[in-house]
Every structure is written in C-alpha cells, then in structure tokens.
A and B are shown apart, each in its own frame.
Chain A
Amino acid sequence: MNLVRNHVLISIDAGTIMAGARAVEKALVEEINKQGLSGEIAVLETGSIGATGQGVVIVVYPEGIYYANVTPADAAELVEEHLLKGRPVKRLIMTEMPKQHVIKKEKTGLLREQPRIVLRNSGVINPENIDEYIAEGGYEALEKAFTDLKPAGVTKEVKDSGLMGRGGAAFTTAMKWEFAARAPGDVKYIICNADEGEPGTFKDRLILEGDPHKLIEGMILAGYAVGATKGFVYIRGEYALSIERLEKAITQARLYGLLGDDILESGFSFDIAVMKGAGAYVCGEETALIESLEGKRGHPRNKPPYPVTEGLWAKPTVVNNVETLANVPEIVRNGAAWYRGYGTDKCPGTKVYTIIGNVATPGLIEAEMGTTLRDIIYEYAGGIKDGKKFKGALVGGAAGAFMGPEMLDAKMDFVNLKEYAAVLGSGAILVMDEDADIVGMLQSVLHFFRHESCGHCVPCRLGTNQLAEIIDRIAEGKGKTEDVDKLVSISEVMRDTSFCPLGQSPVLPITSSLRFFRDEVYSRVQ
C-alpha cells in the first residue's frame, strides 16, 4: 500500500456544485493520473468548508492551503506546480475566508482558538464515508451510552451540559427528553426538524451535507434516552444533496449494525426514516410538522397536549432541530463539563450562524455563545463589504429582530439577547451596510409572512395581509404616519391572539426596525 503524500480536499456542497465542483474534481483526478501521482495523492470529497460564493474551493494538505474559484482549466497547473513541484499556485489562493480557517490551530491570537463542535468534521471528512466519521471518534458516544451511561445517564449528561434547542425557541433539550421518557406508552418517536425555512438560514443544510452521521448518532442517542424506537427526519424537499447524503448515511449505518434491531448487541433497537417536506414555512412549528408527517395539511395543533405526551400518532414525541441533535454525540462523548467550558453560564456551547448580506466573506460559522455581534461581523466575516459602514443586522431570520450599531457589543446568546428584546432564533445574520433600505427589508419580511400564513386562524390570515398592504403603501411613498402606528398595533394584536408562532412573529421585526431606524421609516410617510 502506498503512503499518500498529499490530500486534496474538494468541497462538494450545493454552492460549489453549482460552481462546477464535480468537473473540477474530475479534471484533478485525470491530471493526477496523467502525471502518475495517483498512488501518492488522494482526492477526497468533503462538505462545506464554510466559505460561500467563492466558486469551487479545494484544500491541499498537509500544507493547509486553500484555493478558491478553481476551474477545470486550472487542474493541470495545480497538479504540476503544487503537487508535483511543491510550489503553491499563488493566483488561486483564497484570500478571503471565514475566520475559523485563518486562525491556525496552533495559534491563538486575539480571539482564542474557536471551538468547532457541531461543524468539527464538516469540510474535513468525506460525508459519504462512515469509516471517516468513525475515525474521527464517531459512534463512540453510542458505545459509551450503551455500556456506561444507560438511558438515564445520557439524559443526565445532556441536562448537565445545559444544551438548549437550536431551532429558535431555546427550550432545554433534556427537559423535553425527560417529559417524553416519563410519558406512558411503549411506542415513542424522535423527530428531527430539518424543515429549515427561516429566510437566511442554511446551517442545517450544511450540517447535513457535511456530516450526516453526526445527526444520525444524535438521533440514536436521543431515542435511547427517551425509549423511542423510531426516528423521522422531516427535511425540506428542496434539499436534494442533504437528502441524498442522509439516505446514504442511514444505509451505511444499517450495514454496520448501528441502526436497526439490537444495535451493537445492546438490546436497543432504533431506525430512521427520511420524510420530504413540501414547502410550508409553518411546518417548522412542531405540531404543524407532526400533522404534515401524518400526511395532512400542516396546521398547528392546540397545545396542550404537547408533543412530548401526545405527538405523532398521539404517541409521546420529541422534536429537535438538526443542530441540537448534532451537539449530542459530542456532549455524550466528551462529557457535560467539557461542553460547559464553552459559551456562557446560561447558554453553554456554540452556535452555528449563517452570516450573509453586505459582509466581505459570507458563510457558515460556528462561534461560542456570548460572542459579540461585532466579533462575528468583523472577525469572522471580514467586516462590511467594500469598506462601507455598518447600518444594522436582521438577526434570526424573518421572525427575528433588527439590531442597530448600538447593539454591536451585545453578547449573542439566547438569554442575553432577550434583555435587548432581540432573539438569536435560527442563527441567521443578515448584515446591512449604510445603503440598505429598511422599508424594503420590511417589505420583504412582511410579504414573506403573508405568503406563508397557513390560514388556520383569523388574526394571522388577515393580519399578515394588512401588514403587507400597509408596507407596500409606505414603500410607494403613499403612506401616512398613522400607517406606521397601524403596523405596530396590528402586529401587537397578532402577537397576543394568533394561534401559533407564525402570527406572533411579525411584531418583532416591525418594532425593532422602528427602535433603531425610526427616523428613516417616518421620513418615508406623509
């Protein structure tokens, strides 16, 4: 067997495929074969390395050199110059990249070395190969759970870690599990909510594309803790690559005896099915999601009863977000104390963000809870694009809140942001520079809610319509000052009377935009 001298990692995700990653991969392999280097150099596929919009991205190890915007025509030069002669091709070297790749592992500068818990393997391993996941410590947590911890021990570890739901509501994960574990009944379910629909959010997609086994292991652990035997992943129908990789991973896990009957001879049986969503934002709400899984229109249910006692098919059901479940294997493997070493007291661990808009390097990042908005924008995302000034950010997607410059030093975590009447939500950060138009932003957000209102309850069905009409009027310059007041009062009534979080959401972007950009909004009305 040949010893491989160089590893060439090529990022294969939705963005890079669009940019032609498959063609580049093919060209590289052909060129390597042509030069007779096939025994020395391995080309490996991996998930997102965190940079988006930089074309095809590859990394050459052991040097750790990142190349961006690579085309098939560059393959010959890369192989000849870098891989054969050891001279990196300067013109292709990535100059702008998300911060976690700038900080070398051995160096900790101003910021301390940034932990990657959820994304530890993303962009490092081949997501389509279970052996690579196992080599990185994958499925060790499962062994530990079966032999040492037992179900109660798994829950305890997760409880002690302080893990909160990463889908937006930030409910204590272990508490959900305990409720479901205690609920009477033999049949219980674990549902992974991968119906990522909050505008600006694509973290779950990249977690699934980069490291699908982490989710599978997290779901098995959750099932073991709760006493469930069946798991469902409810995933957005548009996420073709995520679905493909997840299904492949499930098949591999079954072959290895990690899913199915009597997993690792523990006596515990668990299997996972993938269910495609059909494009309804409201299905991100857990009871609407359950209705949809049952094959019905995704209308939210009355609560109580909560899903933990009566969920799917009226059985006790835990619904967790992808990122939440992806934290679980690391917590179980390394222990709650280790996890608490990151983040803040009230919100331990990390948060995965998608940072987009007018920043130099948009992309996917993972930062400790409590990192300031300033550090996220300026340290991780390279600051505002084209040297412009920061105007504000919409944090948490359409259901999130605007933050103005005075909030740059706010520590970002679930608990702390509440004090500022803001939310972390799904972790989408849309950054706006000085030229951004707040009314235009609101227009987009309010049109979104009108489109996605499911029609089940009156306040939301009529309210979202009214809000969209009013903001259109303001945008056209035909609005009056009363119209702005109406936006506030209608959205407040919706918050107080709507049936589910969808109708309760518009109040936050509306009031927060007025809080920071009051003069600008009023300057647009008569």
Chain B
Amino acid sequence: MSEKQCHCAEVQEEELYPRLEEVIMEHRGKGEDLIMVLHKAQNLFGYLPRKAQEMVAEGLNVSLNEVYGVITFYNFFSTVPQGRNSVKVCLGTACYVRGSQEVLDKAQRELGIKVGGTTEDRRYSLDVVRCIGACGLAPAMLVNEDVYGRIKPPHLMDVLEKYE
C-alpha cells in the first residue's frame, strides 16, 4: 500500500516539471527573482527536489551553489518531501510561556516523529515556527494554512485527525 503511494507521488512529481519550466520561463535570466521562483516551485512540489533546484539555477542563470545557499538560509524552504499536511507548532515567547513546548512534545509522541520529520504515510510533517503573529491565541499551531489557538495537549489529535 505504502509503496504504491510513493510510486504515485513520484509520477505526479514528474508531471509537475513542465509547469515549473513555465514558471522559470517568466523569470529567465533574472537571478534577482530567485526567492520568488523558489516560492512558486515549492508551491508546486511541496518541497524543492534536486532536479527542480538544478532547473531553477540553469533558468535564472545563477549557480546551483547559490540556489542551495538561499534554500537552506530561509526557514520556509525545504529540500525533503513534506507530508500532505504541515503541522507547525509556534514556539514564540508568548506561546512558549503558555505551554507550547508541551503541545510540541505531545505532537512528537503521537506522530512518532521529531521536529523536521514526516510520518511514514506522509500524512503529517512536523515543524516549529517562531511566532506567527497569533500571540493573542497562544499557544498557537498552524496546520497548512489554518491557525489553531489555545491548543491543549489532550485536544491536539482531535484537530490533527481532521486532516487526511
């Protein structure tokens, strides 16, 4: 079952490269647009595979080294496949003092992964963020684009299970 899923994901990924090519065409030779293009590429793939990095480097006329440097500098970009749902627990000061570390510990235990990891079924990726500007709702958590506030560890999985 899981093998089959992986296979599907790869096939889908292959189909996305022509679309990346279109994005790159709009910015051909414009190294200054690198971050913008990487945003779009990550939107397509969910992460930045090596092949995509090479295409961006070639298309924008910057070295692969520079592309890799930018990707690893910014928190937003990832070079490993992400789960279908990205779970981000906020560890900003306001959330921290309201117990977000316990929420994070609970998430790691329940999902069986560490921060930065992805579950085997690729359902969830777990990460931390440093303040998402939802301090009034501390402790806060992001699942994909949705913000959840006042998360209590016992209710964590009720929220996560809503995401397939």
Contacts and interface: CB of A to CB of B under 8 A. Distances in A.
Nearest to B32: A295
B136 A53 contact: yes
Interface in B27-77: 31-36, 38-39, 62, 66, 69-70, 73-77
B6 interface: no
Given A275-B36, A280-B74, A280-B75, A201 B133 contact: yes
Given A52-B137, A200-B131, A18 B149 contact: yes
Contacts of B134: 14-15, 18, 202
A436 interface: yes
A444 B136 contact: no
A30 interface: no
Contact of B39 (A17, A198, A276): A276
Contacts of B131: 197-201
Contacts of A200: 92-94, 131, 135
Contacts, number: 135
A18 B91 contact: no
B146 interface: yes
Nearest to B98: A357
Nearest to A354: B135
A47 to B, nearest CB: 14
B16 interface: no
Contacts of A454: 73
Interface residues of A, number: 56
Contacts of B36: 275-276, 295
B163 to A, nearest CB: 15
A394 B96 CA distance: 13
A363 interface: yes
Contact of B35 (A202, A295, A430): A295
B48 to A, nearest CB: 11
7 contacts: A14-B134, A237-B76, A238-B132, A278-B39, A279-B74, A394-B93, A441-B97
The 7 A-B pairs at the shortest CB distance, nearest first, are namely A52-B136, A202-B133, A278-B74, A279-B75, A295-B34, A444-B96, A278-B76
Interface of B: 31-36, 38-39, 62, 66, 69-70, 73-77, 91-94, 96-97, 129-138, 142, 145-150
Given A201-B131, A278-B35, A295-B70, 10 more contacts: A237-B39, A276-B39, A278-B76, A280-B74, A295-B32, A295-B34, A357-B97, A363-B136, A430-B93, A440-B96
